[in-house]
Chain A
């Protein structure tokens, strides 16, 4: 079903225009990279605070309320430019193992954010300026690791090592949704 949707997407004039316009594609990808500086950069600073290793004179509550809105703005830019990059090359990206791993990491990061928001930070008034609890440190480590993986896997989408035409193992065919060449 997804496969059909992606194939239809590739045939839209939007997809073809983005794919064929060198400038628009380059501008989109450069904006994607600059938005990483805003998004991952700010979330990393918040995570270093939640680890208790930096900005310890800044209350946790202030770090969250003043910095996270910028993180969200960065995320919005990344989703917009990221969707455009997907739209430009839908079929290949859909089958990319790196793209799939990147989505998995975003999912893990999202669950971590949910746990942090609805459980971990609930009693933050108690540790706003004091030593941070272990649960806060665990969330910070998961966040830093997951977003770092998102950056690396995202960069690797550009490489064709595991494109459909070079896949020979049944496991990889399963993971990428590529047809396994019987020859």
Chain B
């Protein structure tokens, strides 16, 4: 079974049909997705701006204690709503370049955030590479947001 067939099967699923046939479900999920994206932006930026020297003077490890809760909440909501949006129109997504760009940048953003950025920030590391990692993390998430919006246009 090819990936295209998988997409067809998901599209035919009860969940996919329910979301597709409802007037309000897709817009409601989409709006929640967008709200969580805003939260993610704030959670990443509050520590990032501080690392770059353009934000709060409080030690970043201290900021991280509050910020990582919002980051985790945002990522969980984004993943759940994102999957639901995907389930409702997988065949369309399969054929869209923007979708694949988004998935690859999303993988990159999650890896950089959770395996590099977060551990460094938690330790309050003043590592020379931290500014670079910060810029990379912000860029990755912006690409995810941009490619995500672009799915609707391509």
Contact = CB atoms under 8 A, between A and B. Distances in A.
A154 to B, nearest CB: 8
Contact of B42 (A34, A45, A58, A159): A45
Given A30-B146, A152-B35, A67 B55 contact: yes
B123 to A, nearest CB: 18
Contact of A151 (B31, B57, B58, B145): B31
Interface string A1-33: 000000000000000000000100110011001
A36 interface: yes
Contacts of B66: 48, 54-56
Contacts of A119: none
Interface residues of B, number: 36
Interface in A56-72: 56-58, 62-63, 66-67, 70
Residue picked from B46, B57, B145, most chain A C-beta under 10 Å: B46
Contacts of A25: 153
B142 interface: yes
Given A30-B146, A42-B42, 12 more contacts: A22-B153, A25-B153, A37-B42, A37-B45, A37-B145, A40-B41, A41-B39, A42-B45, A45-B70, A58-B58, A62-B58, A155-B27
Given A40-B42, A62-B57, A151-B38, A30 B145 contact: yes
Interface of B: 23, 27, 30-31, 34-35, 37-46, 49, 54-58, 62-63, 66-67, 69-70, 141-142, 145-146, 148-150, 153
A45 B145 contact: no
A163 to B, nearest CB: 14
B57 A26 contact: no
Q: Is the interface of A mostly helix, strand, loop or mixed?
A: helix
A58 B35 contact: no
A55 B42 contact: no
Contacts of B23: 161
Contacts of A161: 23
Contact of A156 (B27, B67, B69, B141): B27
A34 B41 CA distance: 9
Contacts of A67: 46, 49, 55-56
A151 B39 contact: no
A37 B58 CA distance: 22
A41 B56 contact: no
A125 B19 CA distance: 51
Contact of B37 (A29, A36, A159): A36
18 contacts: A29-B153, A33-B145, A37-B141, A40-B42, A41-B38, A41-B40, A41-B42, A41-B43, A54-B69, A55-B66, A58-B63, A67-B55, A151-B31, A151-B34, A151-B35, A152-B34, A155-B34, A159-B27
